[in-house]
Amino acid sequence: MNRVYNFSAGPSMLPEDVLKQAAAEMLDCNGTGQSVMEMSHRSKAFEPIIAKTEATLRELMGIPSNYKVLFLQGGASLQFSMVPLNLKRIGKAAYIDTGVWSGKAIKEAKRFLSVDTIASSKDKNFTYVPRVDAIKGDYDYAHVTSNNTIFGTKYAKFPETGDIPLVCDASSNILSEPMDVSKFGIIYAGAQKNLAPAGVTVVIIREDLIRGPEHAAGDLPADVPTMLRYDTHANEGSMFNTPPCYSVYVMGLVLEYLKKNGGLPAITAKNREKAKILYDYLDASAFFRPTAEKESRSLMNVPFLTVIEDKEKAEAMNKKFVAEAAKAGLVNLAGHRLVGGMRASIYNYMPTEGVRALVEFMKRFEKENA
């Protein structure tokens, strides 16, 4: 069997060693004689798995003790609703619009409170992240999306918010480089990019933002559904209902793998190296060009176009590129319809060799088709 290099925007590649370990433990995990898929989430067999996963995540990210780590379901998309439902007080929030996912978050938040879109890069089809040094005003919270999978941009520096809780959707670049958790009220992330298979969502929330009868922040309105309350899950250690046990288990393996292989410093260096290899080629190419502005370029997602101006010819060339790349073992390189062209997602566990192979393929393709 030949493994391909998967450049999908998600789910993404996982470390091969992790996949092998999960396969080896499929029928018997930790000597229990059962698969994690079969374990009761409240059993003594599963309790150490979720506890170790949380502990390793805390260690790798430097999560302060006054933050809760929750393992939830519903993806980042459910957090678009949970955040305003749980943080609403005066009924007003600030959002920065940097693409499709922030747009979806804004749309959902408007169901529950008033939203000020204080900055947007829509004017240039989200090819940059607008500079916002500070956010001031009477807001329940401010919301940012740290990395934009479709348009290939990321924050170089987050705005200062003072006493306003800063909420971050970090789904597509969590653990790709250092992140000062203490600057945020909430960080949430779907796991299927850098953490685990799809199914689990990590929510890191400062304890003073959790509202409920047992919390100093006060209770929530009675009409907030039980499953959409952070206190529901915080009070029960993510065990109010059955969590996505297998995804949590694989996340634990991924985090241990990262820890054993140099942690955040090592993966940051690797990600910057991979991105440099690809961007350096694109910047020098006479046939391809990146779409994101230099100061906003993502380390995780790299959209690029051909320089062909005729739309029909460009689309035909894109299809040819994607098809020939797939034959060469470089799969899922088609760009999103809102950008066009191609997109290489090079998350944490895309090997450097995969990026080098892509660049070599692009050089050959350029020579044959320019």
Of the candidates 235, 238, 98, 255, the one whose C-alpha atom is nearest the C-alpha of residue 168 is 98
Q: pTM for the full model? A: 0.96
Rounded CA separation 215/167 (Å): 20
Sign of CA dihedral 362, 274, 18, 170: negative
Position 295 confidence tier, pLDDT thresholds 50, 70, 90: very high
For 190-209, write each residue's pLDDT tens digit.
999 999 999 999 999 999 99
State yes or no: pLDDT of 186 exceeds 70: yes
Rounded CA separation 64/68 (Å): 9
Continuous segment of H or E residues that includes residue 306: strand 301-306
φ, ψ for residue 23, nearest 5 deg: -65, -40
Q: What structural domains does the chain harbor?
A: 25-260 (3.40.640.10), 261-369 (3.90.1150.10)
**pLDDT of res. 40:** 83
Cβ distance 188 to 169 under 8 Å?
Answer: yes
Write down the mean pLDDT value for the chain: 96
**pLDDT of res. 141:** 98
More confident residue, 139 or 309: 139
Within 236-328, residue ranges assigned H as helices are 245-260, 263-284, 311-327
Q: Which residues are catalytic?
A: 101, 169, 193
Neighbours of 30 (CB within 10 A): 14
Residue 107, token pair as written in the block: 């749309």
Three-state DSSP class for residue 16: helix
For 86-107, write each residue's pLDDT tens digit.
999 999 999 999 999 999 999 9
